[in-house]
Amino acid sequence: MRSLCWVVCLFICQCAVAAVDPDSELSAFSWQTKSQVLTEGHMLRVPDGFRFLNRRDSYKLLHDCWHNEVHPGLQGMLVPENVDLLSAEAWGATIVYENSGYLAEADALKMDYDQLLDARRKDHPGQQLQINWLVTPYYDPAAHVFHWPLAYQKNAGGGTIINYELRFLMRHGQLCFNIFGNKSSVGKVMEAVPVFARALQPAADASYTAFNIHTDKLAEWMPHQALGTIGTPDILQSIYNSWLFVVVCLLMVLFVYTMQFIHQRRKGEPHLFRIDEHLN
């Protein structure tokens, strides 16, 4: 299944011709600066200098004002405090969750980013877009986070849109921060990356390390070409669980045979009749 975590905000400058009154919409938004609880209990600490916009108002901004498609797993948005959201200089981050399964660390480390980029380009057939890496993509194994910095440029001298994706791998899927902006916002976007990377505190029972191979599903959101094999569990974890299963089975068999042995031994014992000689 293709991930739709990213949002290309290509229509920010069209707010003025929207069917709704953008200024009226913005004035009604409910902005938050305190920590927010996201899906599955993940905690977002809103960074200094930023505001959080809830799911409902984020939908209005993305769909009604900016004319963007909206992912069904939208959690909200983070935007700078002193940015005009109706201007072409607007930038910020969408936050999206996908319950798409667990991606093993071994697969994350062997990601083929050239194949991944080709898959992204195929997602836009017929569109006059050039899609390239802004800087080298990578995976941070310590934080279990993908860094996918993408640049979308319209052909024929069109503008460039930056989509820097921070993909936090979780037990049941991924939580994606898509930091967007135009070419003039590249410096601000890059400065925000480490800030946003530290802003999320995964819930203990839904974090990446809480994965249970017996109950949790494996990833379905990565392209086959990029992974080779999708969602293969860590080999050591697989071996451990396989041996644990074998040991449990052997113990059960041993228990059954032991009980049968005890039962047969009791069954074969002779019944002794004692005669009390005092009765004679």
Q: pLDDT per residue over 227-279, tens digit each?
A: 544 344 444 555 555 666 677 778 888 887 787 777 776 666 555 555 555 65
Least reliable range by pLDDT among 5-19, 83-97, 139-153, 182-196: 5-19
At 90-144, the pLDDT tens digits run: 999 999 999 999 999 999 999 999 999 999 998 877 677 899 999 999 999 999 9
- Taking only the tens place, the pLDDT of each residue in 27-52 is 889 999 999 999 999 999 999 999 99
Predicted model pTM: 0.75
For the stretch 187-196, pLDDT in tens is 999 999 999 9
What's the whole-number mean pLDDT along residues 63-89?
Answer: 93
Of the two residues 262 and 74, the one the predictor is more confident about is: 74
Using pLDDT thresholds of 50, 70 and 90, give the confidence band for residue 14: very low
- pLDDT tens-digit series, residues 158-169: 789 999 999 999
Q: Residues 229, 201: contact at Cβ < 8 Å?
A: no
Per-position b or e across 182-194, b if 16+ CB within 10 A of its CB:
beebbebbbebbe
8 Å CB contact between 178 and 102? no
Residue 5 C-alpha from the chain's centroid:
9
- 6 has a pLDDT exceeding 60: no
Each residue of 17-29: pLDDT tens digit? 445 566 677 888 9
- C-alpha 249/C-alpha 25 separation (Å) is 63
CA distances from 277 to 52, 271, 280 (A): 97, 19, 6
Read off the pLDDT band of 16 (50, 70, 90): very low
- Report which residue type is found at 80: P
- H-type alpha helices, 83-233: 105-109, 113-122, 186-197, 224-227
Separation CA 171–CA 244 (nearest Å): 22
pLDDT of residue 2: 46
Task: Please answer whether residues 160 and 186 qualify as being in contact, where contact means their C-beta atoms are separated by less than 8 angstroms.
Answer: no
> Which residues make Cβ contacts (< 8 Å) with residue 148, sequence separation at least 6?
116, 137, 164, 165, 167
Q: Please determine, for residue 1, whether its predicted confidence score (pLDDT) is greater than 50.
A: no
Helix, strand, or coil here: 252? helix
Distance CA(16)–CA(20), nearest Å, equals 9
**What is the sign, positive or negative, of the torsion defined by CA atoms of 212, 142, 78, 93?**
negative
